[in-house]
Structure 1
Amino acid sequence: MAFTLATWNINSVRLREGLVARLLREEAPDILCLQECKSPVDKIPAESFAALGYPYMVARGQKGYNGVAILSKLPIEDAGDMDFAALGHARHVAGRLENGVVIHNFYVPAGGDIPDRDKNEKFGQKLDYLTGMRDWFRDGRPQKAILVGDLNIAPREDDVWSHKQLLKVVSHTPIEVAHLGDVQEAGGWVDVTRSDIPEGQLYSWWSYRAKDWDAADKGRRLDHVWASADLGQAFHSSRVLRAARGWDQPSDHAPVFATFDC
């Protein structure tokens, strides 16, 4: 079975319902994973998405914060969720396709502004969340699985506009990169996007603070698509839909795509 998957931090699914609809109409991925939905599940406009050919949804939500959802053309069943670091946040949901592939949709904590857990509780929560992910995957290495989402870390030097200038900025600090690497290693995950696009600067997020984000191009690759090792090379056609960052009232993230044959 071949399917195309997209992941997108939408920064409020209700506020940007029209942008989600546009993506579904124009790009038509078989599966769309959303993060930072900022909505209880019963308030997500699921009927509107179903009318566009996406009748299946698994989601976890909370009012005004966090929230993750998987919209699908393909039948998908709820495969549970995890509350890493016991934060009580809606940051993970899993769905299982009929072929047995499990899709994990994550929204890792951003971590605040100060990269010091003693001075910034949110940074400590981020590191603890990643440690929880690592331990979970180490205890049961995933098989026939795909992990996507806003992981809020740009791991490679070419995943940020300036490695040197961002070394002490949350999302690219060495300790965060190391923690994310531990998660990847524990699960045997393959970075699908960078397997398909191994060279060059690559971003999926540009700050709202930039007057002209496109010209300044001070981006970071915070959004990821990973595959379990047993899926081998069953993926291709990775891309970032940079144009979506320039849509009216956009999210500060752009959707990331990949196609799977599994």
Structure 2
Amino acid sequence: MPFTLATWNINSVRLREDLVAKLLREEGPDILCLQECKSPVEKIPREQFAALGYPHMVARGQKGYNGVAILSRQPIEDAGEMDFAGLGHARHVAGRLENGVVIHNFYVPAGGDKPDRAVNEKFGQKLDYLTDMRDWFRDNRPEKGILVGDLNIAPLDEDVWDHKKMLKVVSHTPVEVEHLGNAQEAGAWVDVTRRDIPEGKLYSWWSYRARDWDAADKGRRLDHIWATPDISNAAHGSRILRAARGWEKPSDHAPVFATFDL
């Protein structure tokens, strides 16, 4: 059975419960992966989501920050989590569908403002997190897997509004791009979004600081959907719902979609 999957950094699932509901009503993905839920699992407002046809959820949460959740129309089994870099943060959860596909939902650390681990501990934590991802995928080569989430890195030149100006800005520095590429290569992950949309500027995040984010359009593609080679050819229909960035009291991220014929 084909299914459509979406990933979205919601920036507080409780504050933006109605926006999640709006997306579920209007777009109807079969599976929605959320990041930065900023809520303990027991306080995620799952009743409204269940009433909209999403009774199944696997999640990891903590009060006030981080947090990841997978909402699903179809049954999904909790497949655990990894605490990469030993941060003790709720940044990963995995769910297994009845067809055996495992969905990994990630919220990679943002990395702070300065791209120098000597003066910025958060940047070091980000690089360590990505290194642990690489090592884990190398030792546990995934099959029949989908990886989604806010990876907090825009890897390609066309994934940022100005490549040269962004080279020293956290999220597009060469060292981050290299670390993400190593993690991707270790799992042989296919970037489904860019395979479907190989050319042109493509963004999923626009800063709250921009007076008119839409007109300025200084975006970055921080949110990703990857798949293992054995199922990547089943993916199609990738898109980013840019309009969601303009909803009332929005997240600064827009949802990213892909459909899998599995």
- TM-score exceeds 0.5: yes
SS in 2 for 1:219: coil
Distance 2:117 2:85 in 1: 14
- Does the Cα contact within 8 Å between 2:77 and 2:95 map onto a contact in 1? yes
Which residue of the partner structure matches residue 225 of structure 1?
225
Which residue of the partner structure matches residue 55 of structure 2?
55
1:238-257 to structure 2, matched below 5 A, reads: 238-257=238-257
Which residue of the partner structure matches residue 199 of structure 1?
199
Identity score, percent = 83
Which residue of the partner structure matches residue 153 of structure 2?
153
Alignment deviations for residues 167-224 of structure 1 (CA, whole Å, 9 cap, x no partner): 0000000000000000000000000000000000000000000000000000000000
Which residue of the partner structure matches residue 100 of structure 1?
100
Q: Where does the alignment leave 5 or more consecutive residues of structure 2 unmatched? A: none
Which residue of the partner structure matches residue 72 of structure 1?
72
1:29-40 to structure 2, matched below 5 A, reads: 29-40=29-40
TM-score by length of 2: 1.00
Alignment deviations for residues 222-245 of structure 1 (CA, whole Å, 9 cap, x no partner): 000000011141100000000000
Distance 2:17 2:98 in 1: 27
Which residue of the partner structure matches residue 171 of structure 2?
171
- Does the Cα contact within 8 Å between 2:244 and 2:254 map onto a contact in 1? yes
In structure 1, give the amino acid aligned to 2:261.
Answer: D
In structure 2, give the amino acid aligned to 1:68.
Answer: V
SS in 1 for 2:23: helix
SS in 2 for 1:146: strand
SS in 2 for 1:172: coil
In structure 2, give the amino acid aligned to 1:74.
Answer: Q
Which residue of the partner structure matches residue 45 of structure 1?
45
Distance 1:83 1:39 in 2: 18
Aligned length: 262
In structure 2, give the amino acid aligned to 1:2.
Answer: P
In structure 2, give the amino acid aligned to 1:45.
Answer: P
CA RMSD of aligned residues (A): 0.4
Which residue of the partner structure matches residue 121 of structure 2?
121
- 4+ runs of 1 displaced by more than 2 Å? none
Distance 2:87 2:235 in 1: 33
Q: Where does the alignment leave 5 or more consecutive residues of structure 1 unmatched? A: none
In structure 1, give the amino acid aligned to 2:13.
Answer: V
SS in 2 for 1:14: coil
- Does the Cα contact within 8 Å between 2:153 and 2:177 map onto a contact in 1? yes
TM-score by length of 1: 1.00
In structure 1, give the amino acid aligned to 2:106.
Answer: F
Alignment deviations for residues 53-88 of structure 1 (CA, whole Å, 9 cap, x no partner): 000000000000100000000110100000000000
SS in 2 for 1:109: coil
